[in-house]
Structure 1
Amino acid sequence: MIDERTGTDIYDPVFVKDLFDRCSGKYIAFSYACSLGFTERWRRQCVELLDLSDCPDPTGYDLMAGTGEVWPHLFKAAPTLSKITAIDISSGMHVRALDRLHRHRAHKIEFIEDNVLDSKLETASADFVVSTFGLKTFNPDQHQALAALVARVLKPGGRFALIEASDPKGWFLRPLYMFHLKQVLPTVERLFLNGAQDFSMIGQYSTSFGNAAAFTEFLRAEGLEANCRKFFFGCATAAFGHKPFT
């Protein structure tokens, strides 16, 4: 898909990096306010799907980690959590994550600035893989590669949960939701953030993404036990499950 402003594929890693570098300074406030707080709730629910309560000293990956907003939920769900390795392509997000939000936990967090599909993560090295609101920045071919990565890095028995804002097709309030994404968000950015319609890309990515059903099938094709779940009438969907022991 081509961005009309730049003529660039919106799934190209260079485009994604530049977009989120520009957004990083105001991303946290914009995301929370314009989702009416739902993004924070969905992050917590995503971590609940991991169910790390019986996993001693877990280590894992936060893919497309952004500003690390899922980390407090991980530490609360698993107080003995040993290490999070966070991967994100945006240097701006990296700075916000470690400097503003989580300096006091930095000894348990390693941040890798890289396109996650190019990152050289060790095979069978993770008790869990989590991702919140990063799936939409990938096209189907990239989703397939990401599913293979999740399957490769998980230990047998390892858990995964990836959640994304979605298009709630069939919901009677969908027109209002789409109006919020495509009209309200760009207006807020234009009036209050002096942006270049960067945040409005969130709506375009989300509607193009659809929901997590197709990604769930990619995970199953890699041999994982995977399920798909809707949240708030399908405004968010998650792919979650585990890697079989055999």
Structure 2
Amino acid sequence: MTDDIYAPEFVKGVFDRCSERYITFSWLCSFGFTERWRRQCVAAMPEPTGPAGYDLMAGTGEVWPHLLKRFPQIGQITAVDISSGMHHRAIDRLHRHRAQRIAFIEDDVFASNLPDASADFVIATFGLKTFDREQLAQFARLVARVLKPGGSFAMIEASDPKGWLLRPLYLFHLKTVLPLMERFLLRGAQDFAMIGRYSTNFGDARAFAEMLRSEHLDVRFDRYFFGCATGVSGRKPA
């Protein structure tokens, strides 16, 4: 494949095409762990100092119920995602009754012109893998820029569990089982298999944690289920 898999238009195409079945397929392929990891990501986030923040690479908004349950004082979530298919899925099928608390920006997160010091919190679940290393550094700068002093953040991503005894089985699942499942269940769409490719390329969130620290944020790094997911959380110093 000669395409730049990290180009915004390529990422948009992948998630637009798989948006209709994304929720069910991701749950099945992770054996339900994605939902557990979203809850853990929200649990790791320090309490926001105010009511408004961003869900970046928001996808279908599956983190919103956990976020609003833990922090009922949240009054406004601005969801940013490049995929129109994911946005439509989020509102039409999942979160219509929360619509008054959700604002949408359909755009590449780097082109969305989010104002400086405009967020009491930033959360991102399973979007980091769609960035290459240069984009991750740019994203770290964006998070530091949009957070208000004292603002909190939490992010989680499927990762490569290096050192785990069962890592070969995990990689076999990502690289072999996912493509077979998409071949027979999705008629060769070749998009869910890309999610596995993004995940193995990503590695884990350690390097991203250091990028956030270089932007003068207080950062905690966590591993989940033997490193099959990793996350970062913390605050921008007041």
TM bracket, shorter-chain basis: over 0.9
Report what 1:20 is aligned to. Answer: 15
Which aligned pairs between 1:1-246 and structure 2 lie closer than 5 A? Answer: 4=1, 7-52=2-47, 55=48, 58-245=51-238
Are the aligned partners of 1:59 and 1:84 in contact in 2 as well (CA < 8 Å)? yes
What amino acid does structure 1 have at the position aligned with 2:40?
A: Q
- Give 2:53's aligned amino acid: G
Counterpart Cα distance in 2 of 1:206 and 1:127: 29
In the TM superposition, what is the alpha-carbon distance from 1:58 to its structure 2 partner?
Answer: 1.8
Q: Provide the identity percentage.
A: 66
Contact 1:56 1:81 in 2 (8 A): no
Q: Deviations over 1:171-224 (max 9, x none)?
A: 000000001111111111111121321100111101100000011111011110
Contact 2:116 2:145 in 1 (8 A): yes
Q: What CA distance in whole angstroms lies between the structure 1 residues aligned with 2:157 and 2:175?
A: 17
Query: 2 CA distance for matches of 1:56 and 1:150?
Result: 16
Say which SS state the counterpart of residue 234 (structure 1) adopts: coil
**Which segment drifts farther, 192-201 or 82-91?**
192-201
User: Structure 2 CA distance, aligned partners of 1:56 and 1:242?
Assistant: 10
| Contact 1:60 1:126 survives alignment (8 Å) | yes
Q: Cα offset for 1:57?
A: 5.2
Distance 2:98 2:185 in 1: 32
Asked whether the equivalents of residues 65 and 88 of structure 1 are also in contact (C-alpha less than 8 Å), the reply is yes
Per-residue Cα deviation, 1:100-150 (whole angstroms, up to 9, x for no partner) = 100000000001000001111111111110000000000011001100000
Whole-angstrom distance in 2 between the partners of 1:11 and 1:181: 19
Contact 1:125-1:153 within 8 A present in 2 as well: yes
RMSD: 0.9
Unaligned runs of 5+ in 1: none
Comparing 190-199 with 175-184, greater Cα deviation is found at 190-199
Q: Which amino acid aligns with 2:38?
A: R
Answer yes or no: is the 8 Å Cα contact 1:56–1:80 preserved in 2. no
- In the alignment, the residues of structure 1 paired with residue 150 and residue 188 of structure 2 have an alpha-carbon distance, to the nearest angstrom, of 44
Aligned-pair CA distance for 1:80: 2.0
Which amino acid counterpart does residue 165 of structure 1 have in structure 2?
Answer: A
